[in-house]
Structure formats: C-alpha cells, structure tokens
Structure 1
Amino acid sequence: MITPKFPVDEKQRIAAVRSYNLLDTLPEKDFDNITALTANICDVPISLVTLLDADRNFLKSHYGIPFNESPRNISFCGHAILEESDIFIVEDARKDTRFKNNPLVKDLQAIFYAGVRLINSEGYPLGTLCVFDTKARTLSKSQKKALIAMAYQVVNLFEARKRNRTLLAVQQELKDKNEQLKNFAGVVSHDMKMPLANMIITSDMLRTKYGHLLDSQGKEYLNYIKQSSFTLSEYITGLLEHYESDKTASLTDEVFDSQEVLEEIIELLNINIDCEINLPEENIEIHANKVALEQIILNLVANSLKYNDKERIKIDIDCFEKNGCYHFKITDNGIGIPKNKLEHIFELFATTDVLDRNGKKGNGIGLSTVKKLVEKLGGEIKVTSKLGEGTTFLFGIKKT
C-alpha cells in the first residue's frame, strides 16, 4: 500500500474545503439523492460524496456503507485528487501497488474504484464523487460521462450552499445594523425633543419679554428660530414613526368599522381650513391592525391637506373589500406630484421639492413609512398624479 501524498497547495486546499462548512454536518437529501442515483447508474453497491480533510476523508453522503469518515492515509480519494484526468479509475485494487494490503480492500472488499474530483470555483479539489464495487470491473462510456456530470452537480450544490450561507450572514448583519440604527435614531430623537421644545418656548418668552427692544430684523430672527425648531421637531417625529413602524405593524389585529376609523382620523387632524372630505357610502367591518391602518390613512390625508393650493380642498376616500383584501383610495385636488418624482416618492428622504400650503418643504419620511406599513400588512400601494390637478393613492391590506 502507498499512502497518498499531499498536494503542493495543501494548506490553501484545506482552507477551501473548510470554507464550505460541510465537514461534520448531517446527511442532506440533495446529496443522498445524487449518490443513490450514481450507484444506480454505475450499477455499484457503494457511492460517496467525500471531502478530504487534513487527516480524514469525511463522507458528506454515503450510500451503501454505514460510516461517515475514514482515515485519509488509506483513502482512494487521497490519490484521486492528485490526478489531473477527468476520472480516476482503479479496475482491480488487488493488483495495484498503491492499494495492495489496504484495509479498505482487505476488510471491505473495495476492489473497484472510480472517482471524479470535486473542483471548486478557485480550482481546488475538495474531495470526490466516487463509486466502489466488490469485484473487478470497468465503466461504460455513458457511465463515465454520467459520473462526471453528477460530480459537476455536487460542486454546484456546494457553491449554492456557500452563497446562501454568505447571504444569510449578510442579511443578519444588515438586520443587526438596522436594529442599531433604529435604537440610535430612537435615543437621539427622544433626546432632541426636549431641547427643541425649550428653544420654541424660549423664543416665545424672548418675544414677550424683550420684544419691545428688538427691531424688525431681531423679531424675524426669533421667528426663524421658532419655525426651524418646529421643522426639526416634525422631522424627528417622522423618523420615530418610521423606525417604530415595525412595532406598529406587529400590534394585535382588531375588528372595527371603516367609517369609525375614518371619522377618528378626521377628528385627529383638527382641520381648520375650507375642506370637503367625502367618505365611502358603504360601511364595512374590517379585521386588521387598526393602529397601523390609522397611521397610513392619517399620513395620506394629512399630505392631501398640506400639498394643496386650492381655496377649497376636496378629498374623496373610498373603501371596499375584494379578494381577501381591504382596498382604500384617497384622491385630492391638490398640487400634484411631478411625473419624474413618482417613481421615487416612497423612498426614505425622497421629496418632490414642491412647497406645501404653508411654504414648507417635506422631509421625505411620511410616504416611506406609509409604504413600509402597507407592505408589513401584506399589501401594496400605488400612486397616480397630475401636476396642478391632484393625486390618488391606492393601497390594499390583507384581511386577517
């Protein structure tokens, strides 16, 4: 018997083998199907998917034998990975000096062997797809081709699992980073709320107590401080709503009337301008997350009020149930959204650059939060708009 030598790049090859995280893993149906099919095609009792580790041959799949590893120094595969040919074949191991007196030959009657190297994308032979028989024999041309093709599929499975594991790791990292960002946004936002409130109150106190000492420019500066504080406070509130939307979407579902929730929203808005809001004629019973739905509609109706340049604002709201979903349609006669902005309107921090009714620019958080909530509730949202004439938002959420 001759012990197989190590490849010249053995250190790098071992690192490649271990990068797939397949050593010492449980059997998997995908690999077991391949070895069973390979044994059937080649008409042999044993078929293996092997990974050659530093001192052992780990059998990721073992068809026809009860163990899942063997010493590397007696392995056929240790010789196979050194061969540059497409397939390594030993027709009768009893007559081959490399395998005479090999325990696998003596104890298991491993007389015939054929193995195809499992070469990864970097060119390292990780192990083999191989077959054994208890008698001397040959493989037909079609059997050889099938064995080579099956080995190619094994490598594809290795690579797919490695990619999936990498993607899962990246996904988890992004999830952790997002959680850190949410926590950071929450802490910073809460910490900034009080100083901003103090700035607003202080500017009012300065105007009241020292207003008579200030010229028009001084009073204008105070107005600027107050309005900037209000704008930043609204921005922070929007950020908090956006990052807390996951919590909102996970709240318990309720049973409520559509008319009830729409009337509550109108009351919350405390509208003090000339506005006509037309509610749906039909009142439907809704089984859904009431808090999340309220936040969605509140954001959309508030936008219809803010981004409107008409003397009389008109907002039409429709609601109906279809195909296991609740559908809502909110149409206004407002400013409208430029065509080139429609595609990005739901992206976080995306704005239309159009000033609202009070001359302020939006922060691009509200609609992003709306889309996030709608999707969390199993639905989707769309928008159509015509500049100067108005906008329509259509969204649906799943019935629970």
Structure 2
Amino acid sequence: MITPPLPVNEKDRLAAVKEYNLLNTLPEKDFDVITKLTASICKVPISLVTLLDSDTNFLKSHHGIPFNESPRDISFCGHAILDDSDIFIVEDARKDERFHDNPLVLEHQAIFYAGVPLRNEEGYPLGTLCIFDTKPRTLDETQKSALHALAYQVINLFEARKRNNELRKVRQALEAQNLELKNFAGIVSHDMKMPLANMIVTSDILKVKYGKQLDFQGRKYLDYLKQSSFTLSEYITGLLEHYESEKLVSANSERFDIHHLLEEIVDLLNINVDCEINLPENNVELHCSRAALEQILLNLIGNSLKYNDKEKIVIDIDCWKDKDFYYFKLSDNGIGIPKNKQKEIFDLFTIVGNLDRNGKKGNGIGLSTVKKLITGLGGDIKVSSKVNEGTVFEFTIAN
C-alpha cells in the first residue's frame, strides 16, 4: 500500500475545506439524494461525498456503507485529489500497488473506485464525489459524464452552504450593531431628555424674570434656545420610536374598529387649524397590533397636517380588507413630494427639504419608522404625489 502524499498547497487547501463548515456535520438530504442517484446511474453499491481533513476522510454523504469517516492515509480519495485528470479510476485495486494490501480492499472488498475531485472556485480539491464496487469494472462515457455533472452539483451545494454561513454571520453582526444602537438610543433618552427639559424651563424662567432687561435680540436668542431644545427633544423621541418599533409590532393583536382608532388619533393630535378629516365610509373591524397601527397613522396624518400650505387642510382616509390583508389609503391636499425623492423618503434620516407649516425642517425618522412598522406587520407601503397638489400613501397589513 502507498499512503497518499500531501498536496504541495495542503495548508491553503485545508483552510479552504474549513471555510465551508461541513466537517463533522450531520447528513443532509440534498447530498444524500446525489449519492443515491450516483450509485443508481453508475450501477454500484457504494457512493460517497467526501471531504479530506488533515487526518480524516470525512464522508458528508455515505450511500451503501454505515460509517461516516475513515483514516485519510488509507483513503482512495487522498490519491484522487492529487490526480490531474478529471476523474480518477482504479478498475481493480487488487492489481494496483497503491491499494492491493489496503485495509479497504482486504476487509471491505473495495475493488473498483472512481472519484471526481470537488474543486472550489480557487481550484483547491476539497474532497471527491466517488463510487466503489466489490468487483472489477469500467464506466462508460455516459456514466463518466453523469459523474462529472453530479460532482458539479455537489460543489454548487458547497458554495450555497458557504454563502448562507456568510450571510448568517453578517446578519448576526447587524443584529449586534442594531442592539448597540437601541441601547445607545435608550441612554440618549435617559441622559439627554431631562437636561433638554431643564433648558426649556430655564429659558422660560429667564424670559419672565429678566425679559424687560433684555433687548429684542436677547429675547430672540432665548426663543431660539427653547425652540432648538424642543427640536432636539423631538429628534430623540423619533429615534427611540424607530428603534423600539419591534416592540409595537410584536404587541398582542387586538380587535378594534378603524373609526374608533382614528377618532382617538384626531383627539391626540389636538388640531388647531382649519382641517377636514374624512373617515372611511365603512367602519372596518381590525385584528392586529393596535399600538403599531396607531403609530403608523399618527405619523402619516401628522405629516399631512404639518406639510400643508392650504388655508383648509383636507385629509381623506379609506380602509377595506380581504382574507389576506387590510388596506389603507390616506390622501391630502398638501405641498407634495418631488418625484425624485419619492423612492428615498422611507430611508432613515432622508429629508425631502421642505419646511413644514411652522417653518421647521423634518428629521427623516418618521416615515422610516412607518415603513419598518408596516414591514414588521407583513405589509408594504407606496407613495404617489404631485408637488403643490397633494400626496397619497397606500399601505397594507397582513390580516
């Protein structure tokens, strides 16, 4: 018996094998289907998908034998990965000096062998798709072609597993970063909102107590300080709502009707301008996260109120359902959204640039939170708008 030598690039080859995270893993149907098909096409009792580790020939799939690994130094596959041909064939191992006294031949009657090296994109042979028979034989061209095709599919499965592992790692990293952002948002809320409240109160006290001693510009600075504190406080609140939106999505579903919810929202908004809000013609009964839908509608109706330059604001709201979704449509006669901005408005921190009814600029958080909530509820949202004419938001929520 001749022990297969190590490839000259063995260190790099082993590193490539380990990248796939397939060593010492459980059987998988995708691989087992291939070995079963391979054995059937080639008319042999044994078919394997192997991966060569430093000392072990690991059998990722083993059709026709009960074990899932063997020593690398007696493996046929160790020789196969060194061969320059597309397929390594041993027609009768008993007549081959490399294998005639090999334990696999003497104890398990491994007489015939054919293996196709499984090479990754960098060209490293990771293992083989191979077959064994207990008698001498040959393969016809159709069987050889099928063996190559099936080996190609094994490599595709390897690559898919590798990509899935990489995506899983990216997802875990993103989840960790998102958690850090949530924790940061909580710290910001706790540590900054109280000082901001103190600044607002202090500016009012200064204006009342020392206002007569200040000139017009001094009083204007105090107003600016107060307004800036309010703006920053609203920004922090919006950021918190964005990162805590999952809590609203996962809240228990409730049964409620759309009219009652919208009436409560209108009361919460405390509208002090000339405004007509038309509720849905039919009072639809809903069963979903009430808190999440309330936050969505608060944001959308609030925007229709803020970004409107008409003497009379008109907001039309409609709602209907089928067996799969609840449908919502909210339209207004506001300032509208430029067409080149309509695809971006749901991205976090994206600002259209328009000032609201009170001359304030948005923070680019509200619509991003709306999108996140709707996606979490199994729905989608789209917008259509014409500048100076109005905007229509249409969204769905899974029923």
CA displacement, residues 129-176 of structure 1 (integer Å, 9 cap, x when unaligned): 111111111111111111122111111111110111111111111111
Matches of 2:394 and 2:227, distance apart in 1: 33
1:153 aligns with 2:160: no
Partner of 1:226: 226
Amino acid at match of 1:104: L
1:288 aligns with 2:288: yes
Partner of 1:74: 74
Matches of 2:281 and 2:159, distance apart in 1: 58
Q: What displacement does 1:322 show?
A: 2.8
Amino acid at match of 2:394: L
TM-score (norm 2): 0.98
SS in 2 for 1:343: coil
Amino acid at match of 1:355: L
Matches of 2:19 and 2:390, distance apart in 1: 57
1:6 aligns with 2:6: yes
1:23 aligns with 2:26: no
Matches of 2:397 and 2:382, distance apart in 1: 12
1:362 aligns with 2:362: yes
1:327 aligns with 2:336: no
SS in 1 for 2:118: strand
CA displacement, residues 101-151 of structure 1 (integer Å, 9 cap, x when unaligned): 111111111111111111111111111111111111111111111112211
CA displacement, residues 240-283 of structure 1 (integer Å, 9 cap, x when unaligned): 11111111111011011111101000111111111111112321
Amino acid at match of 1:394: E
Partner of 2:191: 191
Matches of 2:320 and 2:95, distance apart in 1: 82
Partner of 1:244: 244
Matches of 2:197 and 2:173, distance apart in 1: 36
Q: What displacement does 1:323 show?
A: 4.1
Partner of 1:55: 55
**What are structure 1's unaligned runs of at least 5 residues?**
none
Partner of 2:177: 177
Matches of 2:201 and 2:66, distance apart in 1: 79
Matches of 1:367 and 1:72, distance apart in 2: 59
Answer with 304-313 or 321-330: which moved more. 321-330
Partner of 1:267: 267
Matches of 1:28 and 1:307, distance apart in 2: 56
SS in 1 for 2:347: coil
Q: What displacement does 1:327 show?
A: 1.6
Amino acid at match of 1:15: A
CA displacement, residues 197-233 of structure 1 (integer Å, 9 cap, x when unaligned): 1111111111111111111111111111011111111
SS in 2 for 1:97: coil
Partner of 2:83: 83
Matches of 1:179 and 1:3, distance apart in 2: 52
Aligned identity (percent) is: 71
TM-score (norm 1): 0.98
Matches of 2:75 and 2:209, distance apart in 1: 93
1:336 aligns with 2:345: no
SS in 2 for 1:98: coil
SS in 2 for 1:4: coil
Q: Structure 1's 291 and 215: CA in aligned 2 closer, same or farther, altered over 3 A?
A: same
Partner of 2:35: 35
Amino acid at match of 1:297: L
Matches of 1:326 and 1:81, distance apart in 2: 58
SS in 2 for 1:193: helix
SS in 1 for 2:298: helix
Partner of 1:202: 202
Partner of 2:110: 110
SS in 1 for 2:126: strand
Question: After the TM superposition, which residues 133-148 of structure 1 pair with which residues of structure 2 at under 5 Å, given as runs?
Answer: 133-148=133-148
Partner of 1:120: 120
Answer with 281-290 or 314-323: which moved more. 314-323
Matches of 1:9 and 1:73, distance apart in 2: 17
SS in 2 for 1:336: coil
Amino acid at match of 1:213: Q
Matches of 1:63 and 1:325, distance apart in 2: 47
Partner of 1:383: 383
SS in 1 for 2:230: helix
Partner of 1:352: 352
SS in 1 for 2:316: strand
Q: What displacement does 1:319 show?
A: 1.6
Q: What displacement does 1:56 show?
A: 1.7
Partner of 1:130: 130
Answer with 382-391 or 251-260: which moved more. 382-391
Answer with 226-235 or 182-191: which moved more. 182-191
Amino acid at match of 1:230: F
Matches of 1:270 and 1:7, distance apart in 2: 77
Amino acid at match of 1:345: I
Matches of 1:114 and 1:270, distance apart in 2: 80
SS in 1 for 2:135: coil
CA displacement, residues 357-379 of structure 1 (integer Å, 9 cap, x when unaligned): 10111111111111111111111
After superposition, the CA RMSD in angstroms is: 1.1
Matches of 2:23 and 2:322, distance apart in 1: 51
Q: What displacement does 1:382 show?
A: 1.4
Amino acid at match of 1:317: I
SS in 1 for 2:294: helix
Matches of 2:235 and 2:170, distance apart in 1: 30
SS in 1 for 2:342: helix
Q: What displacement does 1:189 show?
A: 2.4
SS in 1 for 2:311: coil
Matches of 2:126 and 2:258, distance apart in 1: 62
Matches of 1:197 and 1:144, distance apart in 2: 78
